[in-house]
């Protein structure tokens, strides 16, 4: 087999979508696995919707995921340019060739005429098909026109899809479709084919919403006289209601997950498992995937995007990061939340207790902001644990801590235990009021850890406030 040349060809009309990211990932993995080439091509021919911002967002997203491209924007390559709007001459030349050979023709129908035909067909509940009005008309460049590709009337075109197996499309469901607009800008099917030919792409891996484009594209390869590449159509990613994943289902952009505090390793890991598997294994690094990924293990069924499992995967990855590095990664998230956090021992300690309890950096910030900000009390906890009965406990612990020279675990443990014994109470009766005073709530890391992280002074301040509130 030739070394694969694959591509990811997004249109820059929005951020990098989860589904697009997975398509890019599968292609990238296939290329890396076989020492092939991964090409990034920007399909910006929809001038109404394409933006430079979207383009930048897509580059960002891919880079963040660790998917680098061998040919494409910024890095260049032997088949540059990699923006379709810079390749217009090429499409025109290929279209002219087809016209000269009678495989394409100029169509002078107006949009209004076409629309009327469509309406008419709809009224009669017929399938609309371009009636071939201009099929035999001579080529007159001076009149406004589009170029249409001539599709055979009979028969069918099929291929053996690397993911879905044999697929065939009858020609009578196709029509003489437009390949060049009146302004000479190509339409998707033609632009993609010409680019894939000239960029020598030999495997086209894309979402299975393109299955219905494949037969027409194969017809174009043949008309142009080039070998047809292999095709692999990846199943869609669905939302919880089993419809195509969209904004209605929540965050769908890769960068949104970055901002929520997911690790790129986790996003890659989760996405690859949505549609691909390797026995019972769940956790895969990129390096491992490059070794193991195989298109034949990609399933044919659409999958529902499950944020909870993605969070679990993220947690698994978070637990692998060494403490110091984890603190460095978490820092920007605390800062973004407006917390005056310094990179230092305190943050490392917070991260140490957070890592077992929170699945994203977003949750780190949400759950542990009290280490860096004044306590906000949970109303119920405050009512339940700040009472005339608990006040003496708070005072005793306050006094005990004030008397300690340092906040080491052993003496703290002794202090709490002694207090519990003295009062004939369980440790919980001692720890809970203290916990509320120090953290504002009833769930937190171990009490001695919290005291150590807060430090003696801050601990005493918070206990004082608790005592005051306990009346």
DSSP-derived letter for residue 337 is: T
- Smallest distance, RNA to C-beta of residue 38, A: 18
Contact set for RNA, span 211-230 (CB under 7 A): 211-213
Is position 443 an interface residue for RNA (rule: CB under 7 A)?
A: yes
Q: What three-state secondary structure class fits 74?
A: coil
- Range 16-44 burial, b when 16+ CB lie within 10 A, else e: bbbbbbbbbbbbbbbbbbbebbbbbbbbb
247 is catalytic: yes
- Smallest distance, RNA to C-beta of residue 105, A: 14
What distance, in Å, lies between the first and last C-alpha atoms of the chain?
Answer: 80
- Smallest distance, RNA to C-beta of residue 447, A: 4
The residue (of 34 and 357) whose beta carbon lies closer to RNA is: 357
The residue (of 2 and 125) whose beta carbon lies closer to RNA is: 125
Is position 460 an interface residue for RNA (rule: CB under 7 A)?
A: no
Q: Which helix (H) or strand (E) holds 206?
A: strand 203-207
277, 285, 366, 376: residue in contact with RNA (rule CB under 7 A): 277
- Smallest distance, RNA to C-beta of residue 241, A: 7
- Smallest distance, RNA to C-beta of residue 100, A: 21
The residue (of 72 and 235) whose beta carbon lies closer to RNA is: 235
73, 255, 442, 460: residue in contact with RNA (rule CB under 7 A): 442
73, 132, 400, 446: residue in contact with RNA (rule CB under 7 A): 446
* Short-list 344, 326, 324, 334, CA closest to 372: 334
The residue (of 280 and 287) whose beta carbon lies closer to RNA is: 280
- Pick left, alpha or beta for residue 140 (phi over 0 → left; psi -120 to 50 → alpha; otherwise beta): beta
Give me Rg for the CA atoms of the chain: 31
Is position 471 an interface residue for RNA (rule: CB under 7 A)?
A: no
User: Quick check: 104 and 149 in contact, CB under 8 A?
Assistant: yes
- Smallest distance, RNA to C-beta of residue 434, A: 8
Is position 177 an interface residue for RNA (rule: CB under 7 A)?
A: yes
From the candidates 3, 119, 137, 247, which is the catalytic residue?
247
Could you give the dihedral angle defined by the CA atoms of residues 145, 149, 155 and 158, in that order, rounded to the nearest 10 degrees? -140
Span of 56-64, 104-112, 196-204, 453-461 interacting with RNA by CB under 7 A = 104-112
DSSP-derived letter for residue 440 is: S
Span of 7-15, 222-230, 372-380, 384-392 interacting with RNA by CB under 7 A = 7-15
Q: Where do we find the tokens 């891996």? A: 205
Contact set for RNA, span 354-373 (CB under 7 A): 356-357
Is position 209 an interface residue for RNA (rule: CB under 7 A)?
A: yes
46, 92, 96, 378: residue in contact with RNA (rule CB under 7 A): 46
- Smallest distance, RNA to C-beta of residue 46, A: 3
Is position 101 an interface residue for RNA (rule: CB under 7 A)?
A: no
Report the distance separating Cα 104 and Cα 146, nearest Å.
10
- Largest Cα–Cα distance in the chain? 105
Q: DSSP of 227-289, one letter per residue?
A: ---EEEEEPPEE-TTSSBP-GGGS--BHHHHHHHT--HHHHHHHHHHTTB--TT-----HHHH
Per-residue binding string, RNA, 15-44, x by CB under 7 A, is ----------------------------x-
- Total number of residues shown for the chain: 471
Q: DSSP of 415-426, one letter per residue?
A: HHHHHHHHHT--
Is position 183 an interface residue for RNA (rule: CB under 7 A)?
A: yes
Q: What tokens does 92 get?
A: 């025109």
Span of 73-81, 161-169, 249-257, 453-461 interacting with RNA by CB under 7 A = 161-169
Contact set for RNA, span 409-428 (CB under 7 A): 426-428
- Catalytic residue IDs: 247
């Amino acid at each position: 087999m030739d070394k694969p040349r694959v591509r990811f060809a997004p249109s820059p009309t929005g951020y990098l979508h989860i589904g697009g990211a997975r398509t890019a990932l599968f292609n990238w993995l296939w290329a890396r696995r076989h020492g092939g080439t991964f090409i990034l091509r920007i399909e910006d021919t929809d001038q109404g919707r394409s933006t430079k911002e979207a383009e930048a967002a897509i580059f960002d997203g891919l880079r963040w995921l660790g998917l680098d491209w061998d040919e494409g924007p910024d890095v260049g390559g032997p088949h540059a340019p990699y923006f379709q709007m810079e390749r217009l001459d090429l499409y025109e030349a290929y279209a002219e060739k087809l016209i000269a050979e009678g495989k394409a023709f100029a169509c002078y129908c107006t949009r209004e005429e076409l629309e009327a035909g469509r309406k008419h067909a709809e009224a009669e509940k017929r399938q609309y098909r371009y009636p071939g009005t201009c099929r035999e008309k001579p080529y007159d460049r001076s009149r406004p026109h589009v170029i249409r590709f001539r599709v055979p009337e009979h028969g069918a075109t099929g291929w053996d899809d690397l993911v879905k197996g044999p697929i065939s499309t009858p020609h009578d469901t196709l029509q003489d479709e437009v390949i060049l607009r009146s302004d000479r800008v190509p339409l998707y099917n033609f632009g993609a084919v010409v680019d894939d030919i000239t960029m020598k792409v030999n495997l086209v891996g894309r979402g299975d919403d393109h299955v219905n484009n494949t037969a027409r594209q194969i017809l174009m390869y043949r008309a142009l006289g080039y070998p047809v590449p292999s095709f692999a159509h990846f199943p869609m990613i669905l939302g919880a209601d089993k419809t195509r994943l969209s904004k209605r289902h929540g965050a769908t952009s890769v960068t949104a997950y970055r901002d929520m505090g997911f690790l790129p390793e986790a996003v890659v890991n989760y996405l690859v498992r949505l549609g691909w598997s390797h026995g019972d294994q769940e956790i895969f690094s990129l390096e491992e995937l490059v070794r193991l990924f195989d298109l034949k293990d990609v399933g044919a069924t659409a999958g529902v995007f499950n944020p909870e499992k993605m969070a679990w995967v993220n947690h698994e990855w978070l637990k692998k990061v060494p403490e110091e590095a984890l603190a460095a990664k978490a820092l920007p998230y605390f800062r973004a939340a407006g917390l005056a956090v310094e990179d230092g021992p305190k943050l490392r300690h917070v991260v140490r207790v957070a890592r077992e309890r929170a699945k994203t950096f977003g949750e780190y910030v949400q759950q542990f902001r009290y280490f860096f900000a004044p306590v906000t009390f949970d109303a119920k906890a405050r009512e339940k644990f700040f009472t005339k009965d608990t006040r003496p406990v708070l005072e005793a612990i306050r006094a005990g801590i004030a008397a300690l020279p340092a906040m080491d675990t052993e003496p703290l443990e002794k202090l709490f235990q002694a207090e519990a014994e003295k009062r004939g109470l369980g440790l919980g009766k001692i720890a809970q009021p203290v916990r509320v005073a120090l953290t504002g709530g009833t769930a937190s890391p171990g009490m001695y850890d919290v005291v150590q992280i807060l430090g003696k002074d801050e601990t005493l301040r918070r206990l004082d406030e608790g005592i005051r509130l306990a009346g």
